[in-house]
Structure 1
Amino acid sequence: MTILELKGVQANYGGIQALKGIDLKVSRGEIVTLIGSNGAGKSTALKAISGQVQIKNGSIYYKGTDITNTPPHKTSLMGIAQVPEGRRVFPMLTVKENLLIGAFARKVKREMVTRLDRVFQYFPKLRDRLDQKGGTMSGGEQQMLAIGRALMMNPEVLMLDEPSMGLAPIIVEQIFEIILELNKEGMTILLVEQNAFQALQIAHRGYVIQTGEIVLEGNGKDLLTNQQVQEAYLA
């Protein structure tokens, strides 16, 4: 069952047409990755879904409902959470405060405690750092905090924008293991990555975007062995 769909989406970013009519589908329970070079339009696609970028033409559907140009605070309440490129934790807030911001719409204390416990199952290190300022953490720890903050929204769809960026290989491996674990528990994931090899290894399906257009799509393993993908992104 399709949970998220983009149809002919066109959008500008920084005065440039970043998306030129892309079509993309994500089925419930899938990991779908969007790969491409820097500036290809990957991040703009996620921002268009979450409502951070205005769509000029085309439509976006979530669980069959048209959410085109729905503002971010509403898409998050609908069940779409985004982990932004560069993590963007609040540097002067503590780990606990950063996490609680993710549950901004949840008023029941018991529910917040349950969600914190779930985050700590994936990232036990965060439990030991609750009073530490977000800006004093390492890059890997900040990525864990950013994902944890998104999980506090209890999303149905988790969108990750370059989660491996700037991280040591061992931390990247840990992050991708957690992505797989979340998916095995039923979470739908849309993953944007420049690390095409890592992304396609775990993805059920993938799309290749170039200068705002989808040029290839297919099974993740098939794209791994595609000559065009290998020459452009895996060499």
Structure 2
Amino acid sequence: MLQLNNVETFYGGIQALKGIDVSVEKGEIVTLIGSNGAGKSTTLKSISGLTKVKTGNIVYKGSDITNKPAHETTLLGIAHVPEGRRIFPRLSVKENLLMGAFSVKSRQVIEERMERAFHYFPKLKDRLEQKGGTMSGGEQQMLAIGRALMMSPDLLMLDEPSMGLAPIIVEQIFEIIKELNGEGITILLVEQNAYQALQVADRGYVIQTGEIKLKGNGHDLITNDEVREAYLA
């Protein structure tokens, strides 16, 4: 479904990605783990068109999408839930969800997608008129994922969905990730909670200072001594 080939990305004169190769097959959960500043978020931004790729290319469903604008990658079926949720704090829950369906013209389709979001996140239905910025961190994360689901994506990219959340909410979020994947959504997951991520992932990549250092299936990486020492200790 997705292939990154020798991708290099810069922020000014600083190289953030140093020729990375990443693949995601249809129906998989693939995770990127690594420390802060390793290049995980930059990888997702490069895919979705928020950050320019200098060299290399990104192929999605057989088509080159390198440096395609973000609003166009969204229309191709790629939904990106960014680090820090990035909801619209002054808009209501309902308005935030509707922003996720900006390209949908059918009111019936919008209502069907909203009901799907409520299936995963029932709390949202009870808070439709509440301003997004007044919700708890866990509720905002639910809203951010719900907004992405309004796009009916084929590929869902999640950047640090567990950040700053209570353990019980983290468990809920990861259960929903597995459920979404079980219903056919391919997931690319960036996560500092390496143990949680590798438990649900089919495959994983370890990224350090913009380079892929290790890759393998989730179980093999969990039991890898280097990974355990660096990220699971």
Q: Which amino acid aligns with 1:131?
A: E
The equivalent residue for 2:24 is 26
Matching residue of 2:181: 183
Q: Distance in 2 between matches of 1:114 and 1:14?
A: 43
1:6-51 deviation digits (Å, cap 9, x = unpaired) = 0000001354200000000000000000000000000000000000
What is the TM-score when the length of structure 1 is the normalising length? 0.98
Confirm or deny: 8 A CA contact 1:13 1:44 kept in the other structure: no
Match of 2:128 in 1: 130
Distance in 2, Cα, partners of 1:67 & 1:92: 33
Residue by residue, what CA displacement relative to the aligned partner does 1:174-206 show, whole Å, maximum 9, x if unpaired?
000000000000100000001000000000000
- C-alpha distance in 2 between matches for 1:92 and 1:47: 24
Q: TM-score, normalised by structure 2?
A: 0.99
Q: Please list every run of at least 4 consecutive aligned residues from structure 1 whose deviation after the TM superposition is greater than 3 angstroms.
A: none
Q: Output the aligned Cα RMSD.
A: 0.6
* Contact 1:205–1:220 (Cα < 8 Å) also in 2: yes
Deviations 1:123-174 (A, max 9, x none): 0110000000000000000000000000000000000000000000000000
Q: 2: CA distance between counterparts of 1:100 and 1:12?
A: 33
SS at match of 1:82: strand
What CA distance in whole angstroms lies between the structure 2 residues aligned with 1:215 and 1:186? 29
User: Unmatched 5+ residue regions in structure 2?
Assistant: none
- Select the residue among 47, 50, 56 that pairs with 1:49: 47
Equivalents in 1 of 2:106, 2:35: separation in Å?
A: 43
Q: Which amino acid aligns with 1:6?
A: L
1:91 is aligned to: 89
Structure 1: runs of 5+ lacking an equivalent: none
**Length, aligned pairs only:** 233
Indicate how the Cα distance of structure 1 residues 15 and 141 shifts in structure 2: closer, same or farther if over 3 A, else same.
Answer: farther
Match of 1:193 among 188, 191, 194: 191
CA distance in 1 between counterparts of 2:12 and 2:109 reads: 39
Equivalent residue for 1:152, pick from 128, 150, 153: 150
Contact 1:44/1:53 (<8 A) preserved:
yes
Partner secondary structure for residue 135 of structure 1 = helix
